């Protein structure tokens, strides 16, 4: 089960509609996973600045006075609260210090993701409620991915919801189950990667992060995943400028893609794509097993 959606915009005139289009796609997939939902939106970057998306189980307490508390710790930060999440904007070279300061002054806050462009919002509950509480339909951007979850490998929690982010401007959504995630987790921990959950999908995200940190681009990292990850999986991955899809060699998890001059779209089922503009003339196909598909705004592929 689980439902995945993704949208990579080629036509900049559609960017103000990204959040609305992606939200509608995800809501259509509700019956594939009613436990939790999440969306990552790649919006505008501001020179020299970075975003850190955080979540709190007690936002009234943790977010009250947070901006002032960060400034008291000599972090020039702005804080935009959205329900149980907040987006902290700081100088790009201060992201690491944000993590350490938060651990000291607000230990219950959890980081959902960080980077120049990405914002990640995820919670337990139905997609329609999740996207509404964070006002995702009003968000603009160049690309984004989303997930609605039916939990099989771990508890239903906010941290267990997708997308998983383990690197700057990188995130992953997953439908399937990995059989070698425990061994991979140990290898990645030895390489210095920290994990927030026991979810196998977080291991997949961390694997992609590690491969790209070693110099591979997204397409190369996904190709390596076909050799190194065991199990059933469909991954949709976002990076600062890119969007990628890969299915395992058996490809038993459903997937469909569509491409026009305006966008590339992914859905677990065609009905997730049916309301997109121009879908009636799109090239629609089922992604092949063990085949990597990726697009990049900086270097089209």
Q: Which residues have a catalytic role annotated?
A: 2
Give the DSSP letter string of the chain.
--EEEEEEES-GGGGGGHHHHHHHHHHHTGGG--SEEEEEEE----TTEEEEEEE-SSHHHHSTTHHHHHHHTT---EEEEETTEEEEEEEGGGHHHHHHHHHHH-TT-EEEEEESSEEEEEEES-HHHHHHHTTGGG---SEEEEEEE--SSS---TTTSSPEEEETTEEEEEEEEESSHHHHHHHHHHTT---S---HHHHHHHHHHHHHHTT--HHHHHHHHHHH--EEEEEEEE-SSEEEEEE-SS--S--EEEE-SSEEEEESSGGGTTTSTTGGGSEEEPPPTT-EEEEESSS--
CA distances (Å), origin 199, targets 87, 130, 154, 178: 24, 20, 6, 10
d(CA 95, CA 41): 19
């Amino acid at each position: 089960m689980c439902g995945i959606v993704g949208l990579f915009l080629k036509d900049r005139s559609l960017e103000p509609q990204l959040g609305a289009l992606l939200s509608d796609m995800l809501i259509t997939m509700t019956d594939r996973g009613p436990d939790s939902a999440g969306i990552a939106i790649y919006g505008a970057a501001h020179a020299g600045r970075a975003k850190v998306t955080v979540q709190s189980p007690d936002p009234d307490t943790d977010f009250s006075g947070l901006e002032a508390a960060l400034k008291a710790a000599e972090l020039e930060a702005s804080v935009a609260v959205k329900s149980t999440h907040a987006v902290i904007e700081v100088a790009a070279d201060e992201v690491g210090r944000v993590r350490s300061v938060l651990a000291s002054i607000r230990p219950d806050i959890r980081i959902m993701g960080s980077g120049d462009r990405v914002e990640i919002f995820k919670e337990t509950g139905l997609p329609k409620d999740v996207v509404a509480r964070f006002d995702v339909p009003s968000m603009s951007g160049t690309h984004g991915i989303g997930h609605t979850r039916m939990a099989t490998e771990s508890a239903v929690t906010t941290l267990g919801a997708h997308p998983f982010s383990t690197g700057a401007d990188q995130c992953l959504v997953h439908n399937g189950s990995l059989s070698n995630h425990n061994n991979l987790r140990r290898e990645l921990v030895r390489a210095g990667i920290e994990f927030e959950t026991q979810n196998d999908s977080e291991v997949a995200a961390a694997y992609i992060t590690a491969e790209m940190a070693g110099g591979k681009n997204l397409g190369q990292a996904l190709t390596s995943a076909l050799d190194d990850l065991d199990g059933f999986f469909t991954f949709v991955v976002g990076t600062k400028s890119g969007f990628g899809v890969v299915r395992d060699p058996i490809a038993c998890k459903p997937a469909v893609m569509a491409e026009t001059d305006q966008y590339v779209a992914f859905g677990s089922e065609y009905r997730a794509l049916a309301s997109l503009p121009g879908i009636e003339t799109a090239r629609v196909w089922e992604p092949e097993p063990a085949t990597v598909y990726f697009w990049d705004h900086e270097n089209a592929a």
